[in-house]
Amino acid sequence: MIGITVLGSTGSIGVSTLDVVERHPDRFRVVALSAHRNVERLAEQCRRFEPDYAVMVDPAAALALREALSGLANPPEVLEGADALETVAAAPETDYVMAAIVGAAGLQSTLAAARAGKRVLLANKEALVVAGDIVMRAATANGATLLPIDSEHNAIFQCMPPTFADGLSQCGVERILLTASGGPFRHAAPESLAAVTPDQACAHPNWQMGRKISVDSATMMNKGLEIIEACWLFNTSPDQIQVVIHPQSVIHSLVQYNDGSVLAQLGNPDMRTPIAHALAWPERMASGVEPLDLFATATLDFEPPTPARFPCLDLAYRAASEGGTGPVILNAANEIAVAAFLAGRILFTEIATVVERSMNELPAEPVDGTGLEHVLAVDVQARERAERIVSALVG
């Protein structure tokens, strides 16, 4: 039996992961589940999957979880605090870790899994955005297997030759075509975007996702984060990645080779496909996803992105070219700005303003010899700076 820890089990990816795992009781055993503070959902998951451990980051929620599970014959050990995420990510009973916490809050547990040599199923793209070098090196040094869950990156992985880690040009890869849906405002007039509400921004046309990534898709910051994520995963640079708007989200990305071949991965937009792929790799197993009906799909459209509507995409390119702490500042400012937008404090269009001002006020620098310590310090500094910029905008 393969032992699996699901970090962020109460979120969109966490729930889809457990749906796939439940279809294969002969193959997987749940070792640990985790949440930030959603007691009701984590309690229900504990009753269903009987993990050894349940981590609740918030101590008050951990107390409530212990009470909720006290009647169980075989309750999990309930751990609390962010450090416990690292404990369960590295636990000896665990073989696979699904890293599905949202934001840079998922970095240290993802790193702990990589350092412990686990199979890391990486949904938490922000970990690679802020500390790609550190995470990739930790995986290599400790024999961890890092498999992308993000739909585009999983698609690219499926279309890559097995030797891609040696260098893309050496195996005939010319470029990566990274698809983007364009989100809910693909054709909106730029001047209409200031009036967008959080619920409108979270109404993604094709995917059911958590609110933070949904807003990122609407600003296309998600695609910017994904460019940086792809650079780390596939050992390449942004100029080898072309963003293609594909509104149906049926093609999940493509790889172009030097002989004129372009390989694509297609499927219905349902995250259980990449999750099942990474759980079973290098084999295949059922995911519960309906087969793609090409006749019902009928048309596949493609467009270039429109920069005026999506300034966040350009900010991500800028952070990628700055390197060092540039992506750390980009990500931290974006997390603060998105939270402020979702809380009704700033306008949708001010998300880009907060990120740009944060980047202007905090110049990027190379990550110093302390590595993770430096990254975490800049993350804190950038959050404080972005909060100040939000407060000034609120007035």
Ligand X SMILES: NC(=O)C1=CN([C@@H]2O[C@H](COP(=O)(O)OP(=O)(O)OC[C@H]3O[C@@H](n4cnc5c(N)ncnc54)[C@H](OP(=O)(O)O)[C@@H]3O)[C@@H](O)[C@H]2O)C=CC1
Residue of the chain from 31, 68, 178, 213 that contacts ligand X (CB under 6 A): 213
Per DSSP (E only), the strands in the chain are 2-7, 28-35, 53-56, 77-80, 96-99, 119-122, 145-148, 173-180, 241-245, 251-257, 262-266
| Residue 119 interacting partner from Mn ion, ligand DXP, ligand X, none (CB closer than 5 to 8 Å by kind) | none
Identify any residues that bridge with 77 across adjacent strands, giving them in sequence order: 53
Whose tokens are 């807003």? That residue is: 215
- The distance of closest approach from Cβ of residue 7 to ligand X in the complex, given in angstroms and rounded to an integer, is 7
Omega before 282 within 30 of 0, i.e. cis: yes
- The distance of closest approach from Cβ of residue 121 to ligand X in the complex, given in angstroms and rounded to an integer, is 10
**Residue 124: which of 335, 350, 298, 369 has the closest Cα?**
335
Site map 129..168 versus Mn ion, x via CB under 5 A = ---------------------xxx----------------
Is 125 annotated to bind a ligand? Reply is yes
- Identify residue 367 by its one-letter amino acid code: V
- Identify residue 265 by its one-letter amino acid code: Q
| Residue 180 interacting partner from ligand DXP, ligand X, Mn ion, none (CB closer than 5 to 8 Å by kind) | ligand DXP
Is 222 annotated to bind a ligand? Reply is yes
- The distance of closest approach from Cβ of residue 86 to ligand X in the complex, given in angstroms and rounded to an integer, is 11
Show the tokens assigned to 278: 């990474």
Secondary structure (DSSP) of 121-164 = EE--HHHHHHHHHHHHHHHHHTT-EEEE-SHHHHHHHHHS-TTG
Between CA 201 and CA 342 the distance in angstroms is 9
| Residue 126 interacting partner from ligand X, Mn ion, ligand DXP, none (CB closer than 5 to 8 Å by kind) | ligand X
**Residue 301: which of 378, 389, 186, 192 has the closest Cα?**
186
Q: In what order do the strands lie in the sheet with 2-7?
A: 77-80, 53-56, 28-35, 2-7, 96-99, 119-122, 145-148
- The distance of closest approach from Cβ of residue 395 to Mn ion in the complex, given in angstroms and rounded to an integer, is 35
| Residue 217 interacting partner from Mn ion, ligand DXP, ligand X, none (CB closer than 5 to 8 Å by kind) | ligand DXP
In this chain, which stretch among 124-132, 155-163, 279-287, 363-371 interacts with ligand X, using CB under 6 A?
124-132
| Residue 223 interacting partner from Mn ion, ligand DXP, ligand X, none (CB closer than 5 to 8 Å by kind) | ligand DXP
| Residue 273 interacting partner from ligand DXP, Mn ion, ligand X, none (CB closer than 5 to 8 Å by kind) | none
| Residue 183 interacting partner from Mn ion, ligand X, ligand DXP, none (CB closer than 5 to 8 Å by kind) | ligand DXP
- The distance of closest approach from Cβ of residue 207 to ligand DXP in the complex, given in angstroms and rounded to an integer, is 5
Residue of the chain from 90, 98, 129, 209 that contacts ligand X (CB under 6 A): 209
Between CA 332 and CA 376 the distance in angstroms is 10
Between CA 102 and CA 13 the distance in angstroms is 10
Is 13 annotated to bind a ligand? Reply is yes
105 binds ligand X (CB under 6 A): yes
- The distance of closest approach from Cβ of residue 106 to ligand X in the complex, given in angstroms and rounded to an integer, is 6
Interior/surface letters 67-76, b for 16+ CB within 10 angstroms, e for the rest: ebbeeeeebb
Residue 362, Cα to own-chain centre: how many angstroms?
A: 25
Is there a contact between 287 and 281 (Cβ–Cβ < 8 Å)? no
Is 124 annotated to bind a ligand? Reply is yes
Between CA 284 and CA 108 the distance in angstroms is 30
Site map 241..280 versus ligand X, x via CB under 6 A = ------------------------------x---------
Residues that bind ligand DXP (CB under 6 A): 150-152, 180-181, 183, 207, 213, 217, 222-223, 271
Pick between residue 179 and residue 358 the one whose CB is nearest to ligand DXP. 179
In this chain, which stretch among 4-12, 166-174, 279-287, 374-382 interacts with ligand X, using CB under 6 A?
4-12
Is 10 annotated to bind a ligand? Reply is yes
**Residue 269: which of 217, 185, 206, 353 has the closest Cα?**
206
Site map 11..50 versus ligand X, x via CB under 6 A = xxxx--------------------xxxx------------
Binding residues for Mn(2+): 150, 152, 226
Q: Which residues are annotated as part of the binding site for NADPH?
A: 10-13, 37-38, 124, 126, 210
Q: Residues in the site for ligand X, rule: CB under 6 A?
A: 8-14, 35-38, 57, 100-102, 105, 123-126, 150-151, 207, 209-210, 212-213, 271
